[in-house]
Amino acid sequence: MWALFLFKYGDNNLPMTTLKTKRAECFVCGTHNRYSEVASTSTYGYPDLDTRPQRPSRYNLKYEVHRCRSCGYCSEDLSKGDSRTKELVNSQAYQAIVDNEEIPIFAASYLALSYEKEQKNDFLDSAWDVIKAAWLCDDRPDHDVAKQCREKAISLIAKATAIGQHRVKFVYLTEMVTVDLMRRTSQFELAINLLEELKLKVEDKNHKQIIEYQLYLISNKDTDSHSYGNAFKNYRVVGV
């Protein structure tokens, strides 16, 4: 049974995000849960350099991963799992994540989901869940935990790269995001090294613009969030 309702963010010039209510039986413990999912949304403006979208979809993260109210299982769909799911959810390590009150609750749900994927060697998807946890910590704001999440994401991306896991939809997406993760965590030298490698590979003008913009930010020890719009509109690279 689906129930539809509308949720409109504060800016009247933005379209509505439509939510739907879902009921699901937890795969792990059988508890019946009710939660909201996004039925439709949109985004306006350039995403951040780590790909986080702008409003209104920017604030939909809490509707994309759900937590069982009984056992703490976190998933995009609480009714689904595999042969290892119950074991992992009931482990001390998993429960320590969902019970950690020092982490924003929705961020902890993403970290729990990430932990399950990491244990199954799905390192790249695990990294993206940690990145989303960092975004939620940014919103609180909880900069220390956000930094820890980004550092964890860098480690997971390295593991993914070592075994050949990569996203192919956008060329050099993983590398570009890794650079931003490094910059946001003040790992400037590592970020510069990766950017120098990318400069030898990329041919696309927009990619070059982003590389030069990241180098500019690093030269100023800038660890704040910036968008592609900043790279394309507000910053111009001579000769590119």
Are residues 39 and 122 both part of a single domain? Answer: yes
Are residues 80 and 199 both part of a single domain? Answer: no
Are residues 130 and 230 both part of a single domain? Answer: no
CA distance 94 to 203: 43
Are residues 69 and 36 both part of a single domain? Answer: yes
Are residues 131 and 18 both part of a single domain? Answer: yes
- Choosing from 166, 188, 206, the residue where a domain stops is 166
Are residues 149 and 45 both part of a single domain? Answer: yes
Are residues 64 and 158 both part of a single domain? Answer: yes
- Choosing from 140, 166, 192, the residue where a domain stops is 166
pLDDT greater than 50 at residue 238: no
**How many Å is the Cα radius of gyration of the chain?**
19
Q: Tally the C-alpha atoms within 13 A of residue 189's C-alpha that lie toward its C-beta.
A: 0
Q: Tell me the pLDDT tens digit for each residue of 87-133.
A: 999 999 999 999 999 999 999 999 999 999 999 999 999 999 999 99
Domain with 196 in it: 167-240
Are residues 21 and 76 both part of a single domain? Answer: yes
Please, what is the angle between helix 205-219 and helix 188-199, to 10°?
160
| pLDDT band, residue 13 (cuts 50/70/90) | low
| 93 or 170, higher pLDDT | 93
Mean pLDDT of 199-205: 93
Lowest mean pLDDT among 64-68, 145-149, 232-236: 232-236
Are residues 181 and 111 both part of a single domain? Answer: no
| 169 or 145, higher pLDDT | 145
- Express the helix, strand and coil content of the chain in percent, nearest 5 each: 50, 15, 40
Are residues 236 and 134 both part of a single domain? Answer: no
Q: Tally the C-alpha atoms within 13 A of residue 206's C-alpha that lie toward its C-beta.
A: 11
- Choosing from 132, 166, 200, the residue where a domain stops is 166
Lowest mean pLDDT among 17-26, 31-40, 158-167: 158-167
Give percent of the chain with pLDDT exceeding 90: 82
Are residues 129 and 152 both part of a single domain? Answer: yes
Are residues 141 and 198 both part of a single domain? Answer: no
pLDDT greater than 90 at residue 76: yes
Q: What's the domain count of the chain?
A: 2
